[in-house]
Amino acid sequence: MSGKETVQAVENAETAQWLERIARREAKIGVIGLGYVGLPLTLLFSEERFRVTGFDVDAAKVEKLNAGGSYIHRIEPEHIQAAQKSGFHATSNFAEIADVDAVLICVPTPLSEHRTPDMSYIVSTMESIAPHLRAGQLVVLESTTYPGTTEEILVPILEKHGAVRGVRAVRAGAEPGGGVMVAFSPEREDPGNTKVNRRDIPKVVGGLESAATATAAALYNTIFHRVVPVSSPAAAEMTKLLENIYRCVNIALVNELKQLSLRMGIDIWEVIDAAATKPFGFQPFYPGPGLGGHCIPIDPFYLSWKAKEFDFSTRFIELAGEVNEAMPYHVVQAVSAALNEHCKSLKGSRMLVLGLAYKKDVDDLRESPSLTIIEMLQHAGAEVSYNDPFFPTVGRGRKYHLDMTSTPLEDLASYDCVLIVTDHSSYDYRKIVAEAQLVVDSRNATRGIASPKIVRC
């Protein structure tokens, strides 16, 4: 047999063993990074009776989970306790990687200060786990990243530790079948979306070799109703970016058309609803005060950065970024104009901002336009309070410094303006409009309410 055929034979036998262990729920799962993505993923595998070990460098999270608690709003402590009954525990001890069969990596992939991909979390995870990996394990990266990351970042670290398998490794002198299998499978969750069941979101999987794709696909098939295999990790990485760039560009388009519609005296939300009745060729996107969250404001720039290596300029991404980043300025401008109509200026006015979270009904502040808007209003001399049921206080972050406490929704008439930035479902918008002097609404949360006090922007 040729070297390639020997590798194939060993791998086929191993894959068959893996599939059997998955079917019998004997495969042990390790999830690295127990945040908004990793913790729900852990719970899905636990529900399917897999034993899951969760790894996180945050000792407070590990302690909380092991005490049966939760730190994510939509995950109840009972869910964690049910997972514990299926064998779940959390740890910061990466030596425990040797005890699991599959390692699923869900660590952050932010942008650096200079808006370049920050790969430090992935690199540090790989450096922590590589010494403990053993032959036959499956390593899957789920973090959103640029095409090429799996092969260019993960594989070299594994090679350095002699831990990657397949023809490449055999050529480098390893035994056939030795080393781990590697795949990329993007997380496609939409936090706060109660319409789509997580198990109904198809899981895209691209392995470094066919055995990795087949094994990862079989594993994910136990928790997702559909798995979509693609030919390589890079194709899976690009799939995730295409999805998020599509969203980012279309949101920019409606944000631009909203500004034009405002000038023309047309209600853009009415227009979008009418256009959405077309049964083909149109998908509605909605304007807002700016992008937020860990995905849409960040992921497209992973591709722009990578494109430069190919002398390619991603003009749609740059233009969408420009339009979306200008939206908080548009909102502040609209507040200023609305106050002006009441013969008031921003400087010295009392403002109540409703909603800190980046979108409704989530406890996530990352990249939230609310933070930018509050800072801009303060900078202009306004006296700003906020209310958000998910955030009793807000301190300092990478890009903001607020140190504020959520104000009760009382005495609304005492504010010169109530500004709706996040349209949480728990707010009673009729009551807010009835009590406030002036309401500036950046989300169309007051839809259906007719009042001269409302300015939609």
Ligand X SMILES: NC(=O)c1ccc[n+]([C@@H]2O[C@H](COP(=O)([O-])OP(=O)(O)OC[C@H]3O[C@@H](n4cnc5c(N)ncnc54)[C@H](O)[C@@H]3O)[C@@H](O)[C@H]2O)c1
Residue ranges that bind ligand X, judged by CB under 6 A: 32-38, 55-58, 61, 106-109, 121, 124-125, 143-144, 187, 189, 191, 294-295
CB atoms within 10 A of CB 219: 28
Nearest alpha carbon to residue 420 among 430, 228, 11? 430
Of 106, 295, 417, 457, the active-site residue reads 295
Pick the closer one to ligand X by CB: 114 or 398.
398
Pick the closer one to ligand X by CB: 178 or 369.
369
DSSP 36-86: TTHHHHHHHHHHTT--EEEE-S-HHHHHHHHTT---STTS-HHHHHHHHHT
DSSP 246-280: HHHHHHHHHHHHHHHHHHHT--HHHHHHHHTT-SS
Write down the least CB distance from residue 140 to ligand X, Å.
12
Pick the closer one to ligand X by CB: 111 or 253.
111
Write down the least CB distance from residue 120 to ligand X, Å.
8
Pick the closer one to ligand X by CB: 180 or 433.
180
| 3 state SS of 205 | strand
Write down the least CB distance from residue 166 to ligand X, Å.
25
Write down the least CB distance from residue 137 to ligand X, Å.
17
d(Cα 11, Cα 1) in Å, to the nearest integer? 14
Token reading at 98: 């040797």
Residue 106 a catalytic site member: no
Pick the closer one to ligand X by CB: 25 or 161.
161
Write down the least CB distance from residue 347 to ligand X, Å.
37
* Residue of closest CB approach to ligand X: 35
d(Cα 258, Cα 234) in Å, to the nearest integer? 36
Nearest alpha carbon to residue 212 among 150, 153, 157, 131? 150
Helix (H) or strand (E) holding 354: strand 350-354
| 3 state SS of 432 | helix
Nearest alpha carbon to residue 435 among 354, 357, 330? 354
Write down the least CB distance from residue 133 to ligand X, Å.
15
Pick the closer one to ligand X by CB: 35 or 148.
35
- The catalytic residue positions are 295
